[in-house]
Amino acid sequence: MKKMVIISIAAIVVFYLFKQFVYKPYAWKKAIASPEHRLQLGSFIFSRQRGSNGSQSMENKYFIFKAIEINGDYVRLSVVRQLSHKNKLLQSDFSTTKESYKDLKQNIKKLTITAIIKEDLYKEGASFTINNYLLTQYPSLAMSRYYYEDIAEVKKNLPPPADGYERQEYFSMLYSKKEIVENAKLIPYTLNNSTEPQLAERLSENIELILN
């Protein structure tokens, strides 16, 4: 009996290791080679991450990103989220619910998702809240409050600036293309008190799906 238990446990371990280190990498490389799932400008990236729930325990958090710039190995992502109504703020960390995450996997290409220039989000009242200014500048918000922060085209595909503050801003939400394509991971670039960017592998998060 004891021998059978040991054999069963060993089989489960072998199956898990095969799935994690053989099947999943193979399935990812096959999927990302297809037009529907390959990384490109405008791709939606779905990531389920582990994070604190505000107490001492952990919970799953669900994020959807949009690829708004690809420059060499630098991929700039922006979180897809909803504008809040006045006095009714949505989640402050910009994650979405499990139910919305699941629904958007199926329907995100059917939704109107507005690109909003970052500076416009801070005009006329509280940030990240729908208001008359945003509705006037971006009429599509009347159909759907889903949006993502964008940057002006003239600011894209530029080399990193030399100025310290601007350089910090430049590397915000910047991830490695190689890690996304080869390993299905979101690994951000950080300066980490240095002038040269480094990959922060400790902040690595897994990608579940890329959709175009």
**What does the pLDDT read at residue 5?**
57
**What does the pLDDT read at residue 34?**
84
Q: Do 113 and 166 belong to one domain?
A: yes
Tell me the three state secondary structure of residue 163.
coil
**What does the pLDDT read at residue 112?**
95
Note down the domain range covering 143.
Answer: 40-211
> How many structural domains compose the chain?
2
d(CA 107, CA 44): 12
Q: Do 86 and 7 belong to one domain?
A: no
Read off the tokens for 203.
Answer: 């902040």
Q: Do 88 and 172 belong to one domain?
A: yes
Read off the tokens for 133.
Answer: 């200014």
pTM recorded for the entire structure: 0.85
User: Are the CB atoms for 179 and 187 separated by under 8 Å?
Assistant: yes
Q: Do 1 and 49 belong to one domain?
A: no
Q: Do 201 and 109 belong to one domain?
A: yes
Q: Do 64 and 127 belong to one domain?
A: yes
Q: Do 47 and 29 belong to one domain?
A: no
Q: Do 26 and 48 belong to one domain?
A: no
Give the CA count within 13 Å in the CB-facing half-sphere of 42. 7
**What does the pLDDT read at residue 93?**
62
Q: Do 29 and 74 belong to one domain?
A: no
Closest CA to 173 of 108, 104, 80: 80
Q: Do 63 and 117 belong to one domain?
A: yes
**What does the pLDDT read at residue 59?**
82
Q: Do 49 and 21 belong to one domain?
A: no
**What does the pLDDT read at residue 23?**
53
Q: Do 93 and 29 belong to one domain?
A: no
User: Are the CB atoms for 210 and 32 separated by under 8 Å?
Assistant: yes
Does residue 72 come out as left (phi exceeding 0), alpha (psi in the -120 to 50 range) or beta?
left
* Positions in the chain short of pLDDT 70: 1-31, 33, 51-56, 87-93, 125-126
d(CA 137, CA 132): 9
**What does the pLDDT read at residue 18?**
44
Give me the residues paired with residue 82 across strands.
146
d(CA 115, CA 191): 27
